Amino acid sequence: MVIDTLKCVGCSDCVVACQTENDVPIGYCRDWITETVKGTYPSLDLELKSERCNHCENAPCVRCCPTGASHIVEGGIVLVTGDECIGCGACIESCPYDARYQHPDGYVDKCTFCHHRLEKGQLPACVSVCPTKCMYFGDLDNPNSEVSQLLKKRKYKTLAPEAGTKPHVYYLL
Amino acid sequence: MEEELFISGRNIPNIDPSLEVWHWPISLYLFLGGLAAGLLFFAAVFYLLGKDKKYPAAVKVSSVIPPIALSIGLLALVYDLTHKLYTWQLYTTIRIESPMSWGAWVLLIVTPISFLWTFSYYREVYPKLENKLQVFKRLKFLNSFEKFIIKNRKYLAYALIPLTLILGIYTGILLSAFNARPLWNNAILGPLFLTSGLSTAAATIILLSKKKKEKHFFGKIDLALIIIELALIAHMIMGYFAGPEVQVEAMQLLIGGEFTVMFFVFVIILGLIIPAILELIEIYGYKTPVAIAALLVLLGGLVFRFVMVEAGQITRYLY
């Protein structure tokens, strides 16, 4: 997933779309918006971005899961099987992005990149509703995909790369 | 200046504003697990050395504690799970990469062995209790079972030594495997928790022992362990301050931050330095309240687990 921080206006539409699509319990969220202000007045720099699970290549949550409930499916998406999860919280502790939470039903829940929608050939709910079209979703292994092309052309960053997780959500600068 | 805030009203219970997924049962378990591992380790070692008559508290009397400690610890662990009915899923797979999977399996083996160990000494150590309960008279098969266990006690002891070492180190590795929590992400935590567990076990033996020589001997062991523990803590602090920014910030929680008093007063001074001084004075032949030293070691060990679990969860990379 690629997110253009220059286009994001921080409207939270992606958050609401996710909560509606995935029936996220009230008070919880699988994605969220952060606003970062850098510098001192009058030279201030504002960055808005939508954050979520980074579906890391070297996912610590998958590594530390004692039951194998957290796993990586084909294509690199990190998922949790609710019926295998014991709710120990190890994956929550292991996530440098704090992207996971304990669902009120007990199991651990997080962003799935709307895996159920992808199977039908649709885009994740957050991407499909974004009014400024600042989010892009696609196959990073395919050099001709929109996301690969964007990463070729534009400057980008990932969140907390120093945590060594090889995150797969890229932010265009 | 940099300021970052959530504008989508993110307020997830137990995660925002600060992570608190693991509560007091985890700290309690880490303490009880380390204590049980230490006691069983000493019991097995001194049994194999043939010192069960010389050090009866270490080998026999203290054997009643590990099964109780492990049972309470296991209940505490399950209590802190949020999907409790699915706990059995732990035993459907072995995941080499996951410390918790290791721990779950080791506990599944150590807990029954600890019960067998206690059972094999039950009649010898608690003849009065047996006279009252008359368990062996009522259940005849226990007699032959006891004989069988006593005959094979040696093999139990051989199994216990590596298993208890894994269990003792595991209480530290469980935390240190999380690189997302800078305060935990330190390889020294495994040996440190093992040393602390052995030290609390030695203190328990001092409390239970009625023989002066045994008290004296375990006072020496405890003193050596405390010195090792202090050295490991010093290394841990140095390591963090030589580390990246997140680790320096993490250590500042313990040094200057909100956990300073808990860490220095309860863990370092009351839990380690004062007992060490008391035990040192005792070794030189003066009479000191060793029981107080032992109790302080236990208290320090417990507070140390709480400090590490609570403070570690506050440290993070983002936000």
Contact at CB, B4 and A34, closer than 8 angstroms: yes
Q: How far apart are CA B226 and CA B116, in angstroms?
A: 30
Q: Which residue in B has a C-alpha nearest to residue A100's C-alpha?
A: B15
Read off the pLDDT of residues B96-113 as tens digits, 9 standing for 90 and up. 999 999 999 999 999 999
The enclosing domain of A139 has a CATH number of 3.30.70.20
pLDDT for B7: 87
Residue B116 has pLDDT above 90, yes or no: yes
- The per-residue pLDDT string of chain A (173 residues; one tens digit each, 9 = 90 and over) reads 999 999 999 999 999 999 999 999 998 999 999 999 999 989 999 999 999 999 999 999 999 999 999 999 988 999 999 999 999 999 999 999 999 999 999 999 999 999 999 999 999 999 999 999 999 999 999 999 999 999 999 999 999 998 899 999 999 99
pLDDT for the residue numbered B310: 94
User: CA–CA separation, B164 vs B157, rounded Å?
Assistant: 10
Quick check: B63 pLDDT over 80?
yes
Q: Is the pLDDT of residue B127 over 90?
A: no
pLDDT tens sequence across B23-35:
999 999 999 999 9
What residues of B are in contact with residue A97 (Cβ under 8 Å)?
317-318
Interface touch B100/A90, C-beta < 8 Å = yes
Give B11's pLDDT tier (boundaries 50, 70, 90): confident
Packing angle, helices B99-125 and B153-176, rounded to 10: 140
Contact check, Cβ <8 Å, B89/A67: yes
* Rounded alpha-carbon distances, angstroms, from residue B272 to B78, B154, B173, B193, B199: 31, 34, 22, 14, 10
> Are the C-beta atoms of residues A49 and A34 closer than 8 Å to each other?
yes
Q: In this complex, which of A69, A98, A162 lies closest to B15 when CB atoms are compared?
A: A98
Ranges of each domain in chain B = 24-314
Predicted confidence at residue B5, as pLDDT, reads: 87
Does residue B129 contact residue B19 with C-beta atoms inside 8 Å?
no
Going by C-alpha positions, the residue among A76, A103, A79 that lies closest to residue A89 is A103
Report pLDDT for B106.
94
Count: domains in chain A: 1
Per-residue pLDDT at A150: 95
Give the residue among B265, B293, B278 at the shortest CA–CA distance from B207.
B293
C-beta atoms of A102 and B14 within 8 A: yes
Work out the angle at residue B178's Cα, subtended by the Cα atoms of residues B248 and A51, and round it to the nearest 5 degrees: 85
Q: Is the peptide bond before A66 cis (omega within 30 degrees of 0)?
A: no
**Searching chain B, which residue's CA lies closest to the CA of residue A48?**
B7
| H helix or E strand, kind and range, residue A154 | none
Is the Cβ pair A87, B83 closer than 8 Å?
yes
Which pLDDT score, from 0 to 100, does residue B262 have? 92
Q: What is the pLDDT of residue B140?
A: 84
Which residue in B4, B8, B106 has the most chain A C-beta atoms within 10 A of its own C-beta, making it the best mutation to test that interface?
A: B8
pLDDT for position B232: 96
The reply to whether residue A66 touches residue B84, judged by beta carbons under 8 angstroms, is no
Contact A65 B95 (CB under 8 A): yes
Distance from CA of B164 to the nearest CA of A (A): 20
The runs of H, that is alpha helices, within A72-161 are 90-94, 115-118, 125-129, 146-153
pLDDT in tens, B140-199: 888 899 999 999 999 999 999 999 999 999 989 999 999 899 999 999 999 999 999 999
The predicted model gives B8-36 an average pLDDT of 91
**pLDDT grade for B283, boundaries at 50, 70 and 90:** confident
Cβ(B195)–Cβ(B225) under 8 Å? yes
**Structural domain boundaries enclosing A70:** 2-172
CATH code: domain B24-314 is: 1.20.1630.10
pLDDT computed for residue B139 by the predictor: 84
The pLDDT value given to residue B154: 92
Q: How far is Cα A96 from Cα B316, in angstroms, rounded to an integer?
A: 7
Residue of B133 and B117 predicted with greater confidence: B117
Nearest CA among B70, B162, B81, B84 for reference residue B116: B70
- B41: closest CA of chain A, how far (Å): 26
Which of B2, B3, B4, B7 to mutate to probe the A interface, most A CBs <10 Å?
Answer: B7
Q: Give the percent of chain B with pLDDT over 90.
A: 74
Question: Residue B282 has what pLDDT?
Answer: 87
What residues in B contact A93, CB-CB < 8 Å? 19, 21-22, 178, 180-181, 313
Of B1, B10, B90, nearest to A66 by CB-CB distance is: B90
Whether cis (ω within 30° of 0) applies to the bond prior to B67 is no
Q: What is the pLDDT of residue A140?
A: 92
- pLDDT at residue B80, rounded to an integer: 93
Instruction: Please state, rounded to an integer, the average pLDDT across all residues of chain B.
Output: 92
pLDDT at residue B1 above 80?
no
Q: Is residue B129 pLDDT above 90, yes or no?
A: no
